[in-house]
Structure 1
C-alpha cells in the first residue's frame, strides 16, 4: 500500500518484479544469481539508497536474461557484453539510452560476482541534457493553473512545486510534521524516511506560504503529525496517512492544465522544477543557495543543463550596457495574484505587500522582508543601549503588521547600503 514514505509505489513494483522473475523463461542459474544480487543490493550495497534503484536493476537484469542469446552467468569478457549490447540494438531495436541503462545494471551485477573484467565494461557517456527556456511555465500559465485547480489541496500542491522546485515525490512525501507556516519564515522539511532522490534538510517557502496555509485550514487532519500534507480527499481511514500516489498526482496536474486551457501533454510535474530553477538563476540567487534548494551536490555540474538560461543572463548584460530595454518587465517568479493568498484581500496588482495583513506578495518583497528582519535582529543583538534595542524590536513588530511601514522601512534601509 502506498504511504508517505513510498509515494512512487516502489514496494508494490518490487513485489511485481520478483513475481515476473520467478515466472520468467530464463536459465535457472540466471534466476538464482539475480535473486542473490538483489538481496545484496538491499542489504549490503551502500551506493543504493532507494528501493526504486533496486527495482530498476531487477527489471533490467530480468529483461537482459530473457533477451540474451546466452545466460548472463556465462558472460566471460567485455567482448561478450559488447556483443549483447549490439544484440539489443539490432534484434530488439532498443535505444542508446535504454541500452546504457541495461549495461549499468549488468556491470553492477558482474562486479557483485567478482569478475575481473567488470570495471572495464563501458556504460557510455550519459546523453547531454539541455533545458530549453522556451518550454518553461510562464507567470500567466502558472496563474491559470492555480485558478483552474479543483480545490485548495491541488492549488497548494501546484504552488509548492512552483515555489520550492522540489520533485513531486518529495512534495507528496511531506507529512504535517514536516511543515511550519506559523512564522513569517515558512519552511518544509524533507521526509528523509521516504524514497526521495538526493535531497534532505529544511527548505524555505516564499509566495506559496499563503496557498499552503489556506489548504491547512481545511485539511482533513491538520493536527495529526503523521498525516500526509497533500492528503486524499476521500477513501482513507485513520490508520492510513492518506498520501497520494505519484501517478495520481501527475494526473491531477494534467487535468488542471486541460481546464486552464493549456496543453496537458506539456504541463507535467518535472516542468515546475526546471522552470523554478531557471527563475532562480535569472534572479542571481547564487550557485550555493540554488544547490541547497535543489539538493544538488556542491560540486554538481547540473548548471551545465541550464546553460541557455545563463546565456540569457550574459545577453542581458550586453543589452543593459547599450541601454536596450526588454519588451516586458519580467522579474517576479510568482504568479499574478488577484487576492492575497493569506487573507483573501483583493489586490489591484503590483503590490509588494498585502494591504490587509502585510504579508509579502512578491518574491522580492519576501526576500527584502527576510533581509530587513535579519538586519533588525542583528541590530538588537549588537546594540548597547536598551532603548535602541526596544526601538528595533518595535520596528520589527510594526513592519510585520503594517504594509506601508514595512515598505518604507525597506526603502530606507536600502538607501543606507
Structure 2
C-alpha cells in the first residue's frame, strides 16, 4: 500500500510540461479517479488511497479586474466579436470550454430588455454549465452587434463565436488560444497588465462585483458561477470588505453609504431608452456616447486642427460631449473625411501608409505636432478598428445614394476641396 501511495504521490506532482504544472484540484482528481477505479473493481490497494484535500487560495483583490477595467477592455477591443466575448465573459462568467461551445441557436432574444444564453449540454469539461440558461442584459447589445456581422447568423447550428479568418476552418468555433490572443490584444490596447486578462479572470471579477452589489444574493452568485448551493468557493472572496457589505445592505434599503458604494449595473440610454451597461462609454444599440467625454476621434481630430473654431465638423459636434457618435457611426461623408485626416497625420508624422487624395488640402488645416507622441497609437487604433465596410452597414442608404448632397455641399463649402472616398487603406493590408 505504501508503494502505491508513493506512486500516487508522484502522479500528484506530475507537470503538464516545462514551466507548467497542474492545479491542486486537477492533481486531486487524478488520485480520486484511481481510487474510484479501485473501489469499482474491488482492488483493495487502490480503494484506500490517501487523497489530499485541496485548500482554495484567497483571491487577491489587487489582481481582480474591476468594472471600469472591463469596460476599458470592451472599448479597446477592435472587433464586434471580441467586444461580445468580453461582455459575455463578464455577465455569464462561463469557463472557456462552455463559452467556446456556444452556437447561434443558444442565444435567444426574449424582449427588448434581455435575452437568454444556454450552454450546450454535450460539452466535455464544462464543469456543470451544460444546459444552464443565463439572462443577458449587459452583453445583449454587443451580441446583437456581433450577430449583425456574423457570417453565418442564419444557421442556428453555427458557432456563436466563430472564426472569420477565411481559411480552412472559416466559420468554425474559435479556439481558446484565439480568444486568449484577442483578450491579450485588448488588454495591451487598454493599458492593462496582460497577465491579468484571460477568460477565467472574468469569473473572479464577476463574483467580486456581485458580492459587493445589493442587487444580488449568494443564490444569484451560485447560479451565475455554476456553483453548488452553499459552495465553499464563496470563502475565497474575503477581499469584499465589511464596508462593501454594509454599503450593499444600505443601498438595498435606499440609503446612501459613506463608503464602499457599488454602482448599479444598468442605466437607460438617453437617446434610444434601452437598458445599457451603467459604465458603458457608448450605447451598444444606437452608439450614442453616454459618458461626459466626447468620443475619442473627436478629441484627437479637434486637437489636430489649426483653427478648430472655424472647422465645420468640429462646430457640428461642439458642446455635445457625451452624445458625440463614435467614428464608426459617423455619416458616410463625415466618416470619409475624418478617416482621410487621420491617415494624412500618420503619413506625415510617422511615414505610415499612403496619402489620401485630399492630402494637400488636409495639411493646410492641421498641425501634426499638435498631438503628443502617445496619441499616435490611438490614431492607428482608430484607423485599424474602423472601415468603410462597417460604416456602410450603419449608413447603407447613404452609400446606395450617389452621395449625401446636403453634407457634401456643406463640407465642400467649408473646405473648398474635392472629396474622394479612398478605399485603398494601406493600414488594412
Aligned with residue 106 of structure 2, among 174, 178, 189: 178
Query: What is the alpha-carbon distance in structure 2 between the residues aligned to residue 318 and residue 268 of structure 1?
Result: 31
Where does residue 293 of structure 1 map in the other structure? 224
Where does residue 290 of structure 2 map in the other structure? 347
Query: What is the alpha-carbon distance in structure 2 between the residues aligned to residue 168 and residue 89 of structure 1?
Result: 24
Residue correspondence of structure 1 range 209-358 to structure 2 within 5 A = 209-235=140-166, 242-284=172-214, 285-309=216-240, 311=242, 313-314=244-245, 316=247, 325-326=258-259, 330-333=262-265, 334=277, 336-349=279-292
Query: What is the alpha-carbon distance in structure 1 between the residues aligned to residue 290 and residue 81 of structure 2?
Result: 22
Moved more, 127-136 or 252-261: 127-136
Where does residue 51 of structure 2 map in the other structure? 123
**Contact 2:212-2:245 within 8 A present in 1 as well:** no
Query: What is the alpha-carbon distance in structure 1 between the residues aligned to residue 84 and residue 141 of structure 2?
Result: 9
TM-fit CA distance, 1:193: 1.9
Q: In the superposition, relative to structure 1, how do residues 177 and 123 fare at CA in structure 2: closer, same or farther (>3 Å)?
A: same
Query: What is the alpha-carbon distance in structure 1 between the residues aligned to residue 14 and residue 93 of structure 2?
Result: 41
Q: Deviations over 1:141-189 (max 9, x none)?
A: 2222112212100111011101222222222211110102351221111
SS in 2 for 1:309: coil
TM-fit CA distance, 1:290: 2.0
Q: In the superposition, relative to structure 1, how do residues 336 and 99 fare at CA in structure 2: closer, same or farther (>3 Å)?
A: closer
Query: What is the alpha-carbon distance in structure 2 between the residues aligned to residue 318 and residue 220 of structure 1?
Result: 46
Query: What is the alpha-carbon distance in structure 2 between the residues aligned to residue 298 and residue 101 of structure 1?
Result: 21
**Contact 1:146-1:158 within 8 A present in 2 as well:** yes
Are 1:189 and 2:118 counterparts?
yes
Query: What is the alpha-carbon distance in structure 2 between the residues aligned to residue 171 and residue 99 of structure 1?
Result: 24
SS in 2 for 1:162: helix
Residue correspondence of structure 1 range 354-369 to structure 2 within 5 A = none
Residue correspondence of structure 1 range 59-208 to structure 2 within 5 A = 77=1, 79-85=2-8, 97=24, 100-181=28-109, 183-184=111-112, 185-195=114-124, 196-199=126-129, 200-208=131-139
Q: Deviations over 1:378-407 (max 9, x none)?
A: xxxxxxxxxxxxxxxxxxxxxxxxxxxxxx
TM-fit CA distance, 1:203: 0.5
TM-fit CA distance, 1:314: 4.2
TM-score between both structures, scaled by the size of structure 1: 0.57
Q: Give ranges in structure 2 of 5+ residues lacking alignment.
A: 16-20, 266-276, 294-321, 325-429
Q: Deviations over 1:24-54 (max 9, x none)?
A: xxxxxxxxxxxxxxxxxxxxxxxxxxxxxxx
SS in 2 for 1:150: coil
Stretches of 4+ aligned residues off by more than 6 angstroms:
88-92, 317-320
TM-fit CA distance, 1:88: 6.5
SS in 1 for 2:240: helix
TM-fit CA distance, 1:236: 5.4
Q: In the superposition, relative to structure 1, how do residues 251 and 305 fare at CA in structure 2: closer, same or farther (>3 Å)?
A: same
**Contact 1:85-1:99 within 8 A present in 2 as well:** no
Query: What is the alpha-carbon distance in structure 2 between the residues aligned to residue 335 and residue 347 of structure 1?
Result: 9
Q: Deviations over 1:332-383 (max 9, x none)?
A: 3456323211111232459xxx999xxxxxxxxxxxxxxxxxxxxxxxxxxx
Q: In the superposition, relative to structure 1, how do residues 103 and 182 fare at CA in structure 2: closer, same or farther (>3 Å)?
A: closer
Query: What is the alpha-carbon distance in structure 1 between the residues aligned to residue 11 and residue 201 of structure 2?
Result: 31
Query: What is the alpha-carbon distance in structure 2 between the residues aligned to residue 166 and residue 337 of structure 1?
Result: 21
TM-fit CA distance, 1:252: 1.5
Query: What is the alpha-carbon distance in structure 2 between the residues aligned to residue 275 and residue 104 of structure 1?
Result: 30
How many equivalent residue pairs?
A: 273
TM-fit CA distance, 1:276: 0.6
Query: What is the alpha-carbon distance in structure 1 between the residues aligned to residue 98 and residue 22 of structure 2?
Result: 30
**Contact 1:130-1:305 within 8 A present in 2 as well:** yes
Q: Give ranges in structure 1 of 5+ residues lacking alignment.
A: 1-76, 357-417
Q: Superposition RMSD on alpha carbons, in Å?
A: 3.6
- Name the one with the larger helix percent: 1
Query: What is the alpha-carbon distance in structure 1 between the residues aligned to residue 122 and residue 6 of structure 2?
Result: 41
SS in 2 for 1:226: coil
